[in-house]
Structure 1
Amino acid sequence: MEIRQLHYFLMLCNELHFTEAAYKLGISQPTLSQQIRVLEDELGVPLFDRLGKKTVKTEAGNLLEQYALQIVQQLENAKSAIEDLTNLHTGHLRVAVLPSDLDYRLTALLIDFHKEFPNTKVQVIPSIDILNKVLENEVDIGVGLAIQPDNRLNRIPFYTETYSLFITDEHELADKDIILPSDLVNMPLVMYPKGFSGRDLIENWCDIQEISIDTLMETGSATSLFQLVKSGIGATIQPSQLIENFQSLGMRAIPIKHSPTRNLEMFYRNDKYLTRSAQAFLKRMETFF
C-alpha cells in the first residue's frame, strides 16, 4: 500500500465520482480505477460499491478512510516537524477567522508576526464555517466564537467582550452614559446581514430582551458599516473594543445595559503538529487581546 494510493482513495471518498476525482488528481479515470482495484485486491475486500452511476463507500471503505486520514495527517506532521528542525521558518500558516470585525483587527498582529517570521506564508481566511475548515484540515487554526467541547480539538479561550452602540458625536443619544435595550427599538441601524455570527448573536440577545431592531442597510464589512455611521445613515451595534480603531471618524461607543457578550477562542486539531510559527501566532493572539 502506497501513500499515493491513499491520496487517490481519499479523493474518491470526497468526490464519490471516479471522473471528478481523477480530474482533481490530474490523472486519467482508468488510472484511478486501476489503483483502487490494486488497493481492493491487496485488502481482499471492495472499498466502493458501484450502483449504476452512483459510487458509495462500503463498510471497509469507511474504515480505511478513518485510518488513511490519520496516516496522511501524520505524514504532514512529519514534514512540518522536519521543516521546523531546519529552523528556516519557511512554512505555511492558514488561519480561519470570523469575517467582518475580527479579521480587520488582526492587521497590527500580522505586521508584528511577519517581522518575526518573514519567510512564513500566512493566509487569513474569513469564514462563517470555521469549525469545519479546521476539522477538514483546510486551515491550521480557527479563531472565532467559543464552540462546544470536541475531543478532536484543542481549544484556547482568549477573550470575552461586550457590545456597545456606535454613534456619531452629533447623535441625539451622544451624551448618554449607557444605552437601555428599549432605546434600540425603532432606531435606524446599519448591521451585518443575518447569518453573520455577530448579527445572529445580537438577534438572540434581542429575543432575550424581548425587543426587535430595524436595519436600514446591511453589509458584511466593518469598515463600510462605520463609514455609514459617520455619514449619519444609522447607528450600529458592535464589539466595544472596535472604538480604538474608529474613534478618529468622530464617533463614540456607548455601553449597552445587559449588553450582548461573546467569548472568543482559538482551536486546532489535536492530531496536528503545530509549527513554531503556529505556536507563536497562538501566543501573540492571547497577548494581543
Structure 2
Amino acid sequence: MDARQLEYFVTIVDEGGFHRAAERLHVAQPSLSQAVRTLERDVGVALFHRLGRRAVLTEAGRAMLEPARQVLRDLDTTRASVESVQGLRSGRVQLAVLPSQWVQPLTAMIGRFHAECPDVLVSVQPAFTPSDAADLVRGGRSELGLIGAAEDFALPGLRSRLVERQRFVVVTAPGGPWEADRAVLRRADLAGQRVITSPEGNRMRHVVDEIIAQGVDLRIVVETAHREAILPLVLAGTGIAVLTAGWAEFARAAGARVLDLEPVAELRISLIHRPAPLTPAAQRFLDLALAREELGPASEEPAPGRDELGR
C-alpha cells in the first residue's frame, strides 16, 4: 500500500466512479483500475462494488476511507511543514463554512490571513448544518470548519475554538415600520409584521419561532435556505428579517435599516478542527482568527452536550 494508491482510492470515492476520477487525476482509466486492484489485493478485500460506471464502497471500503484521508492529510502536513521553513509562500487552507458565517466573520478572517500570507489559497466549501461541517472536517475533506450554534454541542473527535458571539438584529426596508430614531426593538414590537426567514432546523429560524411562541403576531411569508435572497426580499418590502449582526454592515450598505432586538439572542461562532496537527497555513489561519483582544489567548472550548444547532 502506498500514498498513490490511497490518493486514487479517495479520488474515486469523491468523484463517484473510475472514469471521472481518472479525468481528475490525469491518468488512464486502465492504470487507475489496476492500481485499485493491487490495493485490494494488498488489503485482502474488495473496496468497491462496480456498478457500470459507478463505484460504491463496500463495508471494508467505508472502514478504510477516513484513515486513508488522514494518511493523505498527514503527508500534506509533513510536506507543508518542511516548506514553511522558508515562509508560507504556497499551499492552501480548506474551510467548511455555514451560510450565515460566509459574510462575517469569514470575510474578516480571510482579510487578516491574506494580509500576512497573500500567496496561500483559501478554499471554502459549503456546509448547511454544524453536523455537515463536522463530518467534512472529521473525514479529512476540510481542515477547518466555521460553525454557528446557540450553545456548545457535542463534536466527537474534534476540537472547538470560540471565535465570537453575534447577537440577532432586525433588518427592515428603508424607512420601515418604526420611527427613524428608533434603535432598539422589543420582541412585542414585531407584532403584525411579515417575516422572511430560513427553513426549520437552524438558529435563525429558532429565534423567529420562539418570538411567535411567546404570543407575538409575527407571520412567516417567505422561508428560504438561500441566505443571499433574504436581504433583497427585505429591501423589496416583502417583509422584515431577523439576522445575525454579521449581516448588519452589509445590510446598511445596501440601504436597509438595522435595529437591535431585546432580549438578546446570540449565535456562538466557532472554528473546529481535528486533534491531529494542522498544516502550517491552517494553523496560522486559526491563530489569526483567534487573535482577538476580547477573547485573549486561543483556548479550546469544551463540548459537554448537544444543544440547539444553528447555521
TM-score, normalised relative to structure 1: 0.76
Matched, 1:282 2:282: no
8 Å Cα contact 2:168-2:266 kept in structure 1:
yes
* Structure 1 Cα separation of the partners of residues 247 and 49 of structure 2: 55
8 Å Cα contact 1:168-1:252 kept in structure 2:
yes
SS of structure 1 residue aligned to 2:262: coil
1:137-161 per-residue CA deviation (whole Å, 9 max, x = no partner) reads: 3333211214632232121012222
Partner of 2:190: 184
* Structure 2 Cα separation of the partners of residues 118 and 246 of structure 1: 28
Partner of 2:144: 141
Partner of 1:85: 85
Identify which of 143, 163, 166 aligns with 1:161. 166
Matched, 1:171 2:170: no
Identify which of 268, 277, 286 aligns with 2:273. 268
Q: Which of the pair has the greater relative contact order for Cα pairs under 8 Å at 6+ separation? A: 2
**What's the CA shift for 1:67?**
3.6
8 Å Cα contact 2:184-2:259 kept in structure 1:
yes
8 Å Cα contact 1:192-1:198 kept in structure 2:
no
8 Å Cα contact 2:160-2:270 kept in structure 1:
yes
**What's the CA shift for 1:170?**
3.4
> Identity rate of aligned residues, in percent?
23
Partner of 1:200: 205
**Which entry has the higher C-alpha Rg, 1 or 2?**
1
Residue 261 to residue 42, structure 1, CA distance change in 2 (3 Å): closer
Partner of 2:111: 111
**What's the CA shift for 1:32?**
3.0
Larger displacement relative to structure 2 (69-78 or 53-62): 53-62
Structure 1 stretches lacking a partner, 5+ long: none
Residue 258 to residue 272, structure 1, CA distance change in 2 (3 Å): same
SS of structure 2 residue aligned to 1:9: helix
Question: Residue type matched to 2:77 in 1?
Answer: N
Structure 2 stretches lacking a partner, 5+ long: 295-311
Q: Aligned-residue CA RMSD in angstroms?
A: 3.7
SS of structure 2 residue aligned to 1:7: helix
* Structure 1 Cα separation of the partners of residues 225 and 38 of structure 2: 52
Residue 204 to residue 272, structure 1, CA distance change in 2 (3 Å): farther
**What's the CA shift for 1:75?**
0.8
Partner of 2:156: 151
Residue 257 to residue 46, structure 1, CA distance change in 2 (3 Å): same
